[in-house]
Chains A and B, each alone.
Chain A
Amino acid sequence: MRELELYIHIPFCMRKCNYCDFLSAPADEKSQSAYVEALKKEIKFYGKELKAGELSTIYIGGGTPSWLQEHYMASIMETVHKFFSIKKDAEITIECNPGTLTRAKLNSYKDFGINRLSLGLQSADDEELKVLGRVHTFQQFLRNYELARECGYDNINIDLMYALPRQNTEKFYHTLTKTAGLKPEHISAYALMIEKGTPFYEKYKFDAVRQEAGFQPEVLPHEDVVYQIGKMTEDVLKEAGYERYEISNYAKKGFVCRHNIGYWQREEYLGVGLGAASLIGGNLRYNNLRDLDTYILKADNIKECLFIDEKTEKKLPAVTLHEKAEELKRNAQMEEFMFLGLRMIQGIERSRFYQSFGFTVDNIYSRVIARLEAEELLQQNPERVWLTEKGLDLSNYALAQFLLD
């Protein structure tokens, strides 16, 4: 039976963090309720359309999905169960912000099969949390974490963020050891990006340019410090028994995030909710509408339609909730295979490339691979191709080489 990943987007949060450029905003009770109804219509629509599909993973992301009252989440999950078949061993994750969890919520999630929590801690330092604009303290996080364990969750991820304003290696070392000491099954450690349209951008845009150019920034840590924090993170987490399996992701044995690996390996995934992205059949990418009111309005009468591809002017099958549809040519698919797959530490499997495209990796990329190998950014053997540690550090440079002319 066809396997499929499902992503459900909840575009609400209690308060937007200073660095966040995700599709998310605070909303009143009325919008929440209207959105949940619309979302359920979309889920129902696809459930009927894709009867044959079986869900291997579900990921409820946001925003802050745990901020929704539990009856909303319950009705969303009820709809999923009703219209989709879900594999027995499916990984079902919900993103939670510390301070928004209650025993009732955690129990309710459990009832609907949610078996993995992703907790956004970001930092164990209350000063840093304040700068980030987070709504919780480290103590609040600890209480939520313990509560989750009490409720029986045995697969928990903790999100961390480094390269924060005024951060040094030592400060992040404390966050890291406090986090690892809790023994979560999975840890993500992302470097802070200063994104346009955020309060951080207005505050730090010039500093970010200095940082990028290798000069001494005023408030953001120097590039050398960021580099050292990254190395330290790898060492500390390795020592604590975590394996790095992707550029920013670390897991205890058997606890990698299967949903995210699906993105890197170009598995089929269906995204529902505001702005959600889908990859269908390996060659069709879709994006949902990004305006909340339009989304809610159009969900009332969701149906199939045709989209004109911007580049090829070809008509593509789509749905009235889509804002963009794109058909990937074989070249684009091969590019994605490489630049997504090489984010994983073990790299890409040559045999999968051949099965997908009928060419060997070397047919297409022998020159790029030779060059990157000479630059010590990449290694290969008869089974796989992967980035070296240096290649992972310079992944933008290395991955860009895999774009075809």
Chain B
Amino acid sequence: MDQSKIRNFCIIAHIDHGKSTLADRIIEHTGLLTSREMQAQVLDNMDLERERGITIKSQAVRIIYKAKDGEEYVFNLIDTPGHVDFNYEVSRSLAACDGAILVVDAAQGVEAQTLANVYLALDHDLDVMPVINKIDLPSAQPEAVIEEIENVIGIEAEDAPRISAKTGLNIDEVLEQIVTKIPAPTGDASAPLQALIFDAVYDAYKGVIVFCRIMEGTVKVGDSICMMATGARDDVVEVGYFGAGQFIPCEELSAGMVGYIAAGIKNVGDTRVGDTVTHADKPCKEPLPGYKKVNPMVYCGMYPADSAKYPDLRDALEKLQINDASLQYEPETSLALGFGFRCGFLGLLHLEIIQERLEREFNLDLVTTAPGVIYKVHKTNGDVMDLTNPSNLPDPSEIDFMEEPMVSAEIMVTSEYVGAIMKLCQERRGIYISMEYIEETRALIKYDLPLNEIIYDFFDALKSRSRGYASFDYELKGYVRSELVKLDILINKETVDALSFIVFKDSAYDRGRKMCEKLKGEIPRHLFEIPIQAAVGGKVIARETVKAMRKDVLAKCYGGDISRKRKLLEKQKEGKKRMRQVGNVEIPQEAFMSVLKLDED
């Protein structure tokens, strides 16, 4: 295939600026699908993505476009995740492209993620082509936004298409500019194979299917290939490219092309996003740069609600890990919850997504414990341990000191909310770094924040205190020494290991009190009184009591219609099934998760 007729690009944007809608329009306008065939947001094809309106996994689609110059071009559109949790996946997707369309909302202008994404794209030497979206909105100010792009980001935006992805206005202009402004790929089809994996899925018949961009060389069916980071080898059974929602096999993929390779790889751990595929017998000299094993930042315990489903949960996690290398898990046991896994995630959104996927796609009922970060415990004997499960905290006498992870956070907000946001950051133990006014009315505030203060509900608090105007981005900065304690929860005098968590010493009392209050509302009344206590180092710092149940009667029965009575008893019995027995107290599974939402405002 003629390289000069290929355009590999992605679309980057701040959340809600219309990235997926524009992708849909491009696909629709090039005739790959008629609008009737199109479900809204073709690329976001996980149910979950469509519901939440966000992109979780990278997706790719190949489109044929007949340009005004009369030539046919092949567009490979690679959709990238839009959330800060998935920064690494974004960077791998960007590395597979030659250019990026930057979508900016004509009413909102440049936001924190707009900046973060542009810098990421420029880091990968992509040509960035701005597009002003939502010009049909009454509050649209395309000229002001163009000026902002030029001033703040420093890229030319005068002839940026002014479009409405929703109505389809000026989409033609976007397509033409893709041809003229985004460079064609380079690369030598006869060089040794060098292909970048930017995503992978598991297929029951074909095994692992890797999505890749061929940088150099050619790959075809029968070739013996090798994954450079993991060393896995196999023979290629199929190569092809991406139709809308389907795989279309072809004979070979050569430099500059985007497509998939299936090689009967069964072990999911063998293929990692960011790894380089090459020929086993004629390997390239070195792998493509940028591969790293991504490390989770947030950990929590996941347990099957029905303990007999433990093997199912293990299989499900294994399958999910195939196209989500950042998901990590290892087995653990809890006195309260039985057998389960300690799982590592990129962030809280990632955690929620995995949890929902396990529940929806694998039909599992889960109990999840409070998420925590990785603490470094420096022991008196000189050892340093990474603590992901609060229950494993050594005896205080063995601990010299502890460290917790900090992040550098950038928050962009309109000036009227600067005060409120600063207050929030102070409450979360933030350290002020700097503030600059990007424009008269908007400021970029930088704070260092402990990661464990932002994994719960920081984002929600941020949105509510800025009426939705603040945008937020962060990256891990490093570890700092901190005064941390383990907060234990005792229910009817017994410690419930799954409810323990690590907390900043001065916040312990407040958190303990809120935990007890919350649990009081979650634990149903029993035939006896149940004390709920929060304790630090064996010392009780807060207490609530669930009073004993005294009266629970359905008095009336209606003319011999007993169906309501039966329903009520069945409901009572069903409720019992969803409980976990701790000592002689039954705790609803929801209680383990609900304590996270402590309404800190």
On whether the beta carbons of A397 and B527 are closer than 8 Å, the reply is yes
Q: Across the interface, do A223 and B527 meet the contact criterion of CB distance under 8 Å?
A: no
A167: min CB distance to chain B, Å: 15
Q: Which residues of chain A are near B525, meaning CB under 8 Å?
A: 213-214
Which B residues touch A193, using CB under 8 A?
Answer: 554-556
Secondary structure of the A contact surface, majority rule: mixed
Most chain B CB atoms below 10 A, which of A22, A278, A397:
A397
Which B-chain residue is minimally distant from A189 (CB atoms)?
A: B555
Query: Out of A191, A335, A336, which one reaches B555, CB within 8 Å?
Result: A191
Residue of B with least CB distance to A343? B557
A43 at the A/B interface (Cβ < 8 Å)? no
The reply on B475 being an interface residue by CB < 8 A is no
User: B547 to A339, Cβ gap below 8 A?
Assistant: no
A22 in contact with B558 (CB, 8 Å): yes
Q: Is B70 an interface residue (CB 8 A)?
A: no
A247 touches B550 (CB 8 A): no
| CB interface residues, B 515-534, toward A, < 8 Å | 521, 525, 527
Contact B560–A397 (Cβ < 8 Å): no
A399 at the interface (CB under 8 A from B): yes
Chain A residues positioned under 8 Å from B556 (CB to CB):
190, 193, 248
Q: Interface extent on A, as a size class?
A: 35 or more
Give the distance to chain A from B555, nearest Cβ to Cβ, in Å: 4
Please name all residues of chain A whose beta carbon is closer than 8 Å to the beta carbon of B546 when the two chains form the complex: 214
Given contacts A213-B521, A400-B569, contact A230 B551 (CB under 8 A): yes
B568 at interface by CB-CB < 8 Å: yes
Cα of A339 to Cα of B573 in the assembled complex, Å:
13
Q: What per-residue 1/0 map shows which CB atoms of B553-585 lie under 8 Å from chain A?
A: 111111111110110111011001000000000
> Is the CB–CB distance between A271 and B555 below 8 Å?
no
Partner of B573 from A224, A278, A377, A400 at Cβ < 8 Å: A400
Cβ B572 vs Cβ A248 within 8 A: no
Chain A: which residue is nearest B520 at the CB level?
Answer: A213
In the assembled complex, how far is the CB of residue A66 from the closest CB belonging to chain B, in whole angstroms?
16
- Minimum CB–CB distance from A147 to chain B (whole Å) comes to 26
Name A95's closest neighbour in chain B (CB-CB). Answer: B559
Contacts of A269 in B (CB 8 A): 560
Chain B residue at minimum C-beta to C-beta distance from A332: B566
Q: Which of B527, B549, B556, B572 has the most CB of A within 10 A?
A: B556
Report if A395-B553 is in contact (Cβ < 8 Å); known contacts: A263-B560, A279-B560. yes
Q: How far is the CA of A61 from the CA of B551 in the complex (A)?
A: 28
A335 to B563 CA separation, bound complex (whole angstroms): 13
B286: chain A residues at CB < 8 Å are: none
A393 near B552 with CB under 8 A, answer: yes
The reply to whether A395 and B552 form a contact with Cβ atoms under 8 Å apart is: yes
Interface residues of A (CB under 8 A from B): 7, 9, 22, 59, 61, 190-191, 193, 213-214, 223-224, 226-227, 230, 247-248, 260, 263, 269, 271, 275-279, 285, 287, 335-336, 339-340, 375, 377, 392-397, 399-401, 403
- State the 3 A-B residue pairs at the shortest beta-carbon distance, nearest first: A277-B561, A400-B572, A190-B555
Given A213-B521, A393-B551; 11 other pairs, CB 8 A cutoff: A7-B559, A61-B559, A214-B549, A247-B555, A287-B561, A339-B565, A377-B527, A394-B552, A395-B552, A395-B553, A395-B554
